Structure 1
């Protein structure tokens, strides 16, 4: 089973994270941590 496509954004500041949230609205999800999960995707 293949996961759905996604764009990964690594915000370096809170302002950058808020900008991305504003651009994508309800389509965006925040993933905190994920050190083991992200390489597997």
Structure 2
């Protein structure tokens, strides 16, 4: 089953242990200047 959960990574109580196969996060400083192309 594929499920998308949007929220804060500090509180992952709704995610079962050993159940994540892929994790996608946004850049730490999304609105800041980039040092790479």
**Structure whose CA Rg is larger:** 2
Task: Compare the two structures and name the one with the higher helix fraction.
Answer: 1
TM-score by length of 2: 0.36
Relative contact order (alpha carbons < 8 A, sep ≥ 6): 1 or 2 greater? Answer: 1
TM-score by length of 1: 0.35
